[in-house]
Amino acid sequence: MPLAIQQKGPQLMAVLWLETILALTVISLRYWTRSKIGGQVGWDDWLLVATWFLMLAFAIICTVAAQHGLGIHMKDILPASEWSVGMRTFLIGQSVISMAMGTSKCAVAVFLIRILNKTWHYIVLWFWIITMMAVSILLSVCVFAQMDPVEALWDPSVKGTPTMKLSVIATLTCVWSAAMDFFLAIFPWLVLWQLNMRKKEKITICISLSLGVIAGVCGIVRTTTLDALNDSTDYLYACSDSVCWTFSELTLTIVCVTLPALRPLWKRVTGQSSSGYGNYYKHSQSKGGFPSRAEQGAINLDYMPGAAKKASDPMYTTQAGKASVHSDGNSDRSILGDQKGNPESIQRVQEVTVTYDTVSESSVNNEFGHTGYSAHAR
């Protein structure tokens, strides 16, 4: 029979469900902004959607676990069989939230991959993506692999042999997660200034992602609560604080990566010019929002290959080309929106060069009867 949610249970439920609703709100606004105001939904968006479903699953699991002892001192869990149900349920939740932590951090890295344009940027970000997912999967597996047989984790009548110390794996994951938070907060300040973006837009992105420092602080605090994993005598009560800090770190990560994407929505609500969003052209990118070799579809005037020629060349033509997804000229539009109609935006220019030749008198008499010239427009 389910127990009344008590002691730390109500606090736990409030944190989980309020933050689940907050995460759903910002992710929904992000998706709507990209799909309706303009642009293309990419892998960073889908990773955030996956993260939210994992958060929802964790909140539901913890709600069930709270009805069987989560957040309650072991001595107050009666009958004792309820502890076994709560413990088994909570372990499943720990495995789920470990994966959510990995996908949320990766979403931030993928967001940056979509706007940066140098090979070393990709290498660094993919390093963090791969390692973060590796430690997240490791922790998710070790939740159940820490004891042999696994039933000994929730059944006091079964004698088990520990195969590892879960607190060590959890500490490694927390430290790496916090390190990634701090890296992703600092990295944009180092690389976005090299892109051809308006200073105001660069600052918007950098400040938004810098809020990830707060998530990193939550990660550090969470690390200090991991000793509860070694408290087998009062496990369900001792882990309550760790759950709250873990979920808060996760929610802050989602909010930080979502704020830059909501700028076009903010500009529309406040009546500022915001035509089109992101210029993630559906025909010039792959389905997931990553660059595609096939450059089809809408033509941007922000990338002019002809302009790269030397000014000393007496005959050249400036032309409008299709924007490369990761060109510097497209960096701000790939995140912060189109500048169509803006008098300060790049305009298409067609240059016409006129050349003339002095012809001989005989040629004049034979063909024109006067000195002539020829005009060539290129």
Q: Is residue 203 part of a domain?
A: yes
Q: Is residue 140 part of a domain?
A: yes
Contacts 24+ apart (CB under 8 A), 331-334: 331/115, 331/116, 331/117, 331/192, 331/195, 331/196, 331/197, 332/195, 332/196, 332/197, 332/198, 332/201, 332/202, 333/278, 333/279, 333/300, 333/302, 334/114, 334/115, 334/278, 334/279, 334/280
Q: Is residue 43 part of a domain?
A: yes
**Could you tell me the pLDDT band of residue 378, with boundaries at 50, 70 and 90?**
very low
Most trustworthy range by pLDDT among 93-107, 108-122, 187-201, 222-236? 93-107
- CATH number, residue 130: 1.20.1070
Predicted confidence at residue 191, as pLDDT, reads: 84
Predicted confidence at residue 131, as pLDDT, reads: 96
Most trustworthy range by pLDDT among 19-23, 176-180, 199-203, 291-295? 19-23
Predicted confidence at residue 316, as pLDDT, reads: 38
Place of tokens 């709270």: 66
Rounded CA separation 275/37 (Å): 8
Q: Is residue 132 part of a domain?
A: yes
**Could you tell me the pLDDT band of residue 15, with boundaries at 50, 70 and 90?**
very high
Residue 373 has pLDDT above 80, yes or no: no
Q: Is residue 298 part of a domain?
A: no
Say if residues 12 and 64 touch (Cβ distance below 8 Å): no
More confident residue, 366 or 164: 164
Most trustworthy range by pLDDT among 74-88, 129-143, 180-194, 347-361? 129-143
Rounded CA separation 149/154 (Å): 11
- Mean pLDDT across the stretch 88-97? 95
Supply the DSSP string of 153-200, one letter for each residue.
Answer: GT-TTS--EE-S-HHHHHHHHHHHHHHHHHHHHHHHHHHGGGSS--HH
**Could you tell me the pLDDT band of residue 336, with boundaries at 50, 70 and 90?**
very low
Local structure of residue 345 (DSSP, 8 states): S
Q: Is residue 4 part of a domain?
A: no
**Could you tell me the pLDDT band of residue 318, with boundaries at 50, 70 and 90?**
very low
- Mean pLDDT across the stretch 298-322? 38
Residue 325 has pLDDT above 50, yes or no: no
Mean pLDDT over all residues of the chain?
Answer: 76
Q: pTM of the entire structure? A: 0.71
Predicted confidence at residue 353, as pLDDT, reads: 61
Predicted confidence at residue 12, as pLDDT, reads: 94
Predicted confidence at residue 273, as pLDDT, reads: 57
- Mean pLDDT across the stretch 320-335? 44
Residue 289 has pLDDT above 50, yes or no: no
Structure confidence by residue, pLDDT tens digits, 95-104:
999 999 999 9
**243 closest CA partner among 226, 265, 262:** 226
Predicted confidence at residue 224, as pLDDT, reads: 81
Q: Is residue 301 part of a domain?
A: no
User: Can you list the positions of beta strands (E) in the chain?
Assistant: 147-148, 161-162
**Could you tell me the pLDDT band of residue 268, with boundaries at 50, 70 and 90?**
confident
Residue 19 has pLDDT above 60, yes or no: yes
Structure confidence by residue, pLDDT tens digits, 147-188:
999 999 998 888 989 998 888 999 999 999 989 989 988 888
Residue 309 has pLDDT above 90, yes or no: no
The pLDDT > 90 percentage for the chain reads: 35
**Could you tell me the pLDDT band of residue 217, with boundaries at 50, 70 and 90?**
confident
**19 closest CA partner among 68, 55, 61:** 55
Residue 114 has pLDDT above 50, yes or no: yes
Q: Is residue 265 part of a domain?
A: yes
Predicted confidence at residue 4, as pLDDT, reads: 79
Report the number of distinct structural domains present in the chain: 1
Q: Is the preceding peptide bond at 260 cis, omega within 30 degrees of 0?
A: no
Structure confidence by residue, pLDDT tens digits, 26-75:
999 999 988 888 667 889 999 999 999 999 999 999 999 999 999 998 88
Structural domain boundaries, residue 238 = 9-269
Predicted confidence at residue 106, as pLDDT, reads: 94
